[in-house]
Amino acid sequence: MYFWSFFNQASIFQLPSFSSTVSRPALQLRVLSFNVRYATSSPFTNEKPWSERFPLVLNQLQHETRFLDGTSIDAVHTDSSTHPAAAIICLQEVLHVQLVDILNGLNELPPSSDKSQTPTDGPIWAHIGVGRDDGHTKGEYSPIIYPVKIFRLLHYETIWLSPTPDRPSKGWDAGSIRILTVAVLEYKSSGQRVLASTTHLDNDGSKSRENSVIVILDTLKRIQKDWATSNALPIFLAGDFNSFPNQEAYLGMERSDYMYDMWQFISPKRRYGEQITFTGFEPDKDTDEQGRIDFIWLGPKDGVCIPPKDGNSLLAASDVPKSCSWIADGYSVLSNVFEDGVYLSDHRCVVGDLRLIC
């Protein structure tokens, strides 16, 4: 399994450093995008309550980010010329009570009986994001969760996907309020910055999805311009688009010519798992709605290096042009159900393995 050998196995010992072969070090980054399904009081057929799904969701997040949370920095990275591998988790459909559970779990803290508490930030993971209904704790979050020992938070915003993006509001024909969460993160070891963003587009309104893409791209371009240093500011956008690749939101992203859909240019030999990201809770019955609607986009396009077409080898950091910021090494769609038959969510988690070239 490619991402095991590239990330996890190497991380047990010492992550490879490219600083000895090129002047621009390569920072290993794993991006996860997961719509965890909100904690509803009216579950669908075959949907288990959050209390049963949460331990499975947490287990998957912990498994996919082990060795990537900064806890091994002191033990492994004693040389300042090396840089720790990292993970950034982007979630959708997260209610406040779920965010409290997830952050307590990721931070290895005991469960809280007070679900109204402020979500814990640290000692391992912190989050950016607000509830979409009031800009505080009401409604669904689309949080970005990052390891505090690896990244320094420089800037963050919540943008409402509507004609009034600076305040809680519903846009166009949307059935629900929708948001974009954006963060500028800086590697403490190198000073390299990355623009992380996540969103969840509307499932009802096609006009909303189409116009939301315009708002998202305008926001990313503005922040990229404001926070880029002498090096380019690499961007990723992860989330649930509620749009198949032949529909308006996806096509709007493509037409912008600003970002790449990671799945499209990764060789099939470097993909793992399924293609479908939305399954529903009854896959045998929900066939019309199933498809690839959860994406990881990389940009700006001129900073993304296309990997070898044969897919047999990883692109060497020494071979990339000077304009390159991203090297994409692998892509996977994880299972959302196992032998016990309990679905973690009606979506599958999407994982991108990347190298960020400083």
Q: What is the mean pLDDT of residues 287-302?
A: 93
- pLDDT band per the 50, 70, 90 thresholds, residue 83: confident
Min mean pLDDT across 2-16, 117-131, 208-222 is at: 2-16
Q: Is the pLDDT of residue 11 over 50?
A: no
Over 8-24, what HEC string results?
HHHHHCCCCCCCCCCCC
Residues 349, 34: contact at Cβ < 8 Å?
Answer: yes
Q: What is the pLDDT of residue 8?
A: 44
Highest-scoring range by mean pLDDT, 13-17, 176-180, 318-322: 176-180
Whether the per-residue pLDDT at 87 is higher than 60: the answer is yes
So what's the pLDDT on residue 289? 85
pLDDT for the residue 154: 98
| Dihedral (CA of 274, 279, 285, 286) sign | negative
Residue 331 tokens, joined: 């892509």
Q: Give which of 116, 198, 204, 121 is closest to 158, Cα–Cα.
A: 198
**What pLDDT is attached to residue 305?**
86
pLDDT digits (tens, 9 = 90+) for 126-158: 999 999 999 999 999 999 999 999 999 999 999
In this prediction, what percent of the chain has a pLDDT beyond 90?
73
Domains recognised in the chain with CATH numbers:
2-10+26-357 (3.60.10.10)
pLDDT of residue 114: 77
In the predicted model, what is the mean pLDDT of the chain? 89
Kindly state the helix (H) or strand (E) to which residue 28 belongs, with its residue range: strand 26-35
Residues β-bridged to residue 144: 90, 128
Please tell me the distance from the alpha carbon of residue 47 to that of residue 37, in angstroms, as a whole number.
10
pLDDT tens column, 227-253? 998 777 999 999 999 999 999 999 999
Read off the pLDDT band of 320 (50, 70, 90).
Answer: confident
Output the pLDDT for position 141: 99
Which pLDDT does position 312 carry in this prediction?
61
Flag whether pLDDT at 21 surpasses 60: no
- Rg value, the chain, Cα: 19
> For 162-187, how does the pLDDT look when each residue is reduced to its tens digit (9 = 90+)?
999 999 999 999 999 999 999 999 99
Question: pTM of the entire structure?
Answer: 0.91
Query: Which band of pLDDT confidence, cut at 50, 70 and 90, is reported for residue 306?
Result: confident
3-state helix, strand, coil in the chain (%, to 5): 25, 25, 50
The pLDDT tens digits of the residues spanning 53-82 come to 999 999 999 999 999 999 887 655 444 447
